[in-house]
A and B are shown apart, each in its own frame.
Chain A
């Protein structure tokens, strides 16, 4: 069984890892992580330009590496800010795809659902493919789908915590209620968290901190990429039901009378 291509808005990816570039020590670290994992899609923020001097800009490097660039609205607290940021991203990158983040405060970085849904609705009406970062609320995920987003991206735990998937049951329920792509975003700490996300039925995983701030980012990028593929296959393989008591795997037949 092969991993099937996944459509996210107008992007198509063959590798189910989306690499977040936040927290990387250098552009070289990002390039090494891209190469090690095989990711085809990386997220970036929109910020004031600074003269790069003689060094290569992040934009030029990502273009050279031929990865698709997914801009986000990181740092936006209101729908208004997020919509203008998405328009700026569209202008800078000539893409209609936006990862929508509208957060409530700096301490938790948790999504602000009221502003988020307003921004999602407005951006969809302006022709954007919206990939919406959200809390792990299955009903709200369905609400986002109903306003026309292209993917729902629930958190496993708050951004940067590396706490893994705190409520696997919610992710599992979201998988049942949301019929568009579901991407686990935020909270991944290590490879097994990514495998679990895929086993729960997510279509892809976004990992940033867990890779960029690992001691060896490229090695962790490879580990998480492999875990995602393992989880993808496991989800489709049809796992055995959990049982209370043991079930022998070796038949009794032919057993010696000792």
Chain B
């Protein structure tokens, strides 16, 4: 059981998405996260630990434990 638990924890990790905790598989890319959340990719921008990540690099940007992901779009304002 201990091994199974260890194996489980080694395959998933916690990250923060728009301020909410979320458990995802190790190796998930930023692009994969948007797919997982069924979010559009047009009219959308993302930041990782307060740094903007350009859309063309989303597929190769692999998320790490504890990272803070912000996924943004336009809303009414101004």
Which residues of A are at the interface with B, using a C-beta cutoff of 8 A?
20-24, 30, 43-49, 51, 57-60, 62-63, 69-72, 74-75, 84, 87-89, 91-93, 99, 101, 206, 208
Interface string of B9-50 (1 = CB under 8 A from A): 000000000110000000000000000011110111111001
Which residues of B are at the interface with A, using a C-beta cutoff of 8 A?
18-19, 37-40, 42-47, 50, 52, 54-55, 70-78
Q: Would you call B76 and A88 a contact (CB within 8 A)?
A: no
Q: Would you call A93 and B43 a contact (CB within 8 A)?
A: yes
A167–B54 Cα distance when bound, in Å, is 43
Q: State the total of A-B contacts with C-beta under 8 angstroms.
A: 97
The 8 Å CB contact of A48, one of B38, B40, B42, B71, is B71
Q: Would you call A44 and B72 a contact (CB within 8 A)?
A: no
Given A91-B45, A91-B54, A93-B43, 7 additional A-B pairs, CB 8 A: A46-B45, A51-B37, A58-B73, A84-B50, A88-B47, A91-B46, A92-B74
- Say what secondary structure dominates the interface of chain A: mixed
Q: Would you call A74 and B77 a contact (CB within 8 A)?
A: yes
Residue numbers in A under 8 Å from B38 (CB-CB): 51
Q: Would you call B55 and A20 a contact (CB within 8 A)?
A: no
- A92/B72 contact (C-beta < 8 A), A49-B18, A49-B44, A51-B39 known: yes
Q: Would you call A91 and B75 a contact (CB within 8 A)?
A: no
A53–B17 Cα distance when bound, in Å, is 19
CB distance from A92 to the nearest CB of B (A): 4
A47–B71 Cα distance when bound, in Å, is 8
Residue numbers in A under 8 Å from B72 (CB-CB): 46-49, 88, 92
The 8 Å CB contact of A59, one of B37, B52, B73, B78, is B73
CB distance from A160 to the nearest CB of B (A): 11
A21–B78 Cα distance when bound, in Å, is 6
